[in-house]
Structure 1
């Protein structure tokens, strides 16, 4: 007769050195954000205008919504590269619906359901078939975007209802946009779920050691499936916002969003290896990226230069948190 090993305890919080390192990284992000804000205010006389600052929020809110869900997914040790393609497919489905005479509530529902369905499809392939998430989502990235191109070709869907424009262009009060309010609400919800619930503790446990988490009674496959669904859901919501803001649907919509969302996550201190990170860091990183891209836009920097900057920033921020933690740990 063999002794049954005692289940491992899932910690209620991260160990003190790691928590301290994450806090310090977030403090550094605050300093960086303040510095960039100051530089932008001196570089352009229009930057401090309230409406300019309001426009700034549109530079990061849609991508940040995806980044919140992506943060949980990466902390669990997985990744989703298909989020931008999900936006394209969901937007295409909304475009087809508006051509058929669908109203605003139906359009919003279609965008969310398509996004959720795509996320569930990714989750099933990863958790049921045991396929690597990076391979699966590279494949579905081409699949979802390809379907959008087959349906639309080089055409565009337009003619969205005037009421639909509120989600991407509307303001709740003065210069406070609906997108900004949604961003703040999502940040609070995701922050609470990740840092104050047993579900969040299980996400960290899976990212640190999925085998140990499984032995501790954590349903690893189920939680990862939920995380893929959340990523798809947030992509669907983002598709509603960006389609509403642009007022049209094209198959090339949201290209590059996946890299920007991942950059926000990693810049925010989430370990690309999984097991560590915070939503506050992602919020600060989103604000920093919004400041940078908006500032470059005010200086009339070409879009291709911004793309190069995002690529370089992604490489740098993948290395920096790892090196930062090693230095804090004395290694």
Structure 2
């Protein structure tokens, strides 16, 4: 008995890695934001008076430093399809704790550490409500946004504490010797490297993308989704607490309403930097470029005499365009994949049928 059979081998490829490496690196949303940042800087240097002044660089980096810091853990949170709207309120609460403890005569390093711990506790509480109680992070952090801000204002009222050790306020405003770059950029770079390695070069980072793409599948594959998200919210609160200490020293001012609205700036920068609001996609270099783009654009427009209201409008338009463009590209890619699948299906249908076994 003889039999003749036809066998075919189907090779499945991941489309993104089917392209050359240089295209995978250059043709991304993150690189587009970096290119746009370079263009804005170039135009500002030519067209905006005093933009090339070293003081402009100093004040620009000082202003965006808290946003840069908070954007690091926020990137990881949004990649897992969650969000933390309470970060600015934690900054305000950390600022108040720093001011009250310093005013009570406690050494500043101890007061700063206590403020950072308070931020960490705020993140732990967010993580508990999201991962243990099972509430949606949007609802939880809207509630804790109001809760933490209310505690901060309740502790200090409408007054402000402006007396802080001079050596610490001078350190917060100091530059790296011989450069216009503020000292705060040193801890930011250290944290950025840590978060970048964590996100892009460790199994933990891969689990974040897996959770963002499909948390049920991630859980079935053995990933502890709850514990992972709990860690992220704790990190977010801790970094926001540190940003609150820096914010207090930079402006020599502890108030309950410090950093009001900063959470929207952070989220806008993260989304502008290429992180998908639906989770599963994003990179830290794009987020850093997004923060700097918003900062450079705002600085150049202010130097050009544009009002803050117009700057907010332009920033909002940029954010909307970034989200719309991401959705449009995803839609086009889906249609292209569907069209390729149909063509392959027709090609398979036209192929001659395999001969039946013969006896």
State the TM-score, normalized to the length of structure 1: 0.90
- Which residue matches 2:209? 204
Larger Rg: 2
Q: Please, which runs of 5 or more residues in structure 1 have no aligned partner?
A: 1-12
User: What does residue range 1-331 of structure 1 map to in structure 2 within 5 Å?
Assistant: 16=17, 20=24, 23-174=27-178, 175-327=180-332, 330=336
User: Would you identify which runs of 4 or more consecutive aligned residues in structure 1 move more than 4 Å?
Assistant: none
Once the two structures are superposed, what CA deviation does each residue of 1:66-86 show, in whole Å capped at 9, x if it has no partner? 111000000011000010001
Once the two structures are superposed, what CA deviation does each residue of 1:224-268 show, in whole Å capped at 9, x if it has no partner? 000001111111111011111000111221111101111111111
**C-alpha distance in 2 between matches for 1:308 and 1:85:** 23
CA RMSD between the two structures: 2.1
**C-alpha distance in 1 between matches for 2:268 and 2:177:** 30
- Which residue matches 1:7? none
User: C-alpha displacement at 1:15, in angstroms?
Assistant: 5.3
**C-alpha distance in 1 between matches for 2:50 and 2:203:** 46
State the TM-score, normalized to the length of structure 2: 0.84
User: C-alpha displacement at 1:310, in angstroms?
Assistant: 3.3
**C-alpha distance in 1 between matches for 2:311 and 2:59:** 17
Say if 1:14 and 1:270 are closer, same or farther in 2 by CA, change over 3 A. farther
| Equivalent pair of 1:168/1:178 in contact (CA under 8 Å) | yes
User: C-alpha displacement at 1:323, in angstroms?
Assistant: 2.1
**C-alpha distance in 1 between matches for 2:279 and 2:18:** 17
Once the two structures are superposed, what CA deviation does each residue of 1:76-102 show, in whole Å capped at 9, x if it has no partner? 110000100010111111111011012
User: C-alpha displacement at 1:23, in angstroms?
Assistant: 5.0
| Equivalent pair of 1:64/1:286 in contact (CA under 8 Å) | yes
Q: Please, which runs of 5 or more residues in structure 2 have no aligned partner?
A: 1-13, 338-359
Once the two structures are superposed, what CA deviation does each residue of 1:144-185 show, in whole Å capped at 9, x if it has no partner? 111111122221011111122145312222222112222222
**C-alpha distance in 1 between matches for 2:214 and 2:288:** 26
Once the two structures are superposed, what CA deviation does each residue of 1:103-135 show, in whole Å capped at 9, x if it has no partner? 221122022111111011100000010000000
| Equivalent pair of 1:112/1:233 in contact (CA under 8 Å) | yes
Matched residue SS, 2:28: helix
| Equivalent pair of 1:103/1:161 in contact (CA under 8 Å) | no
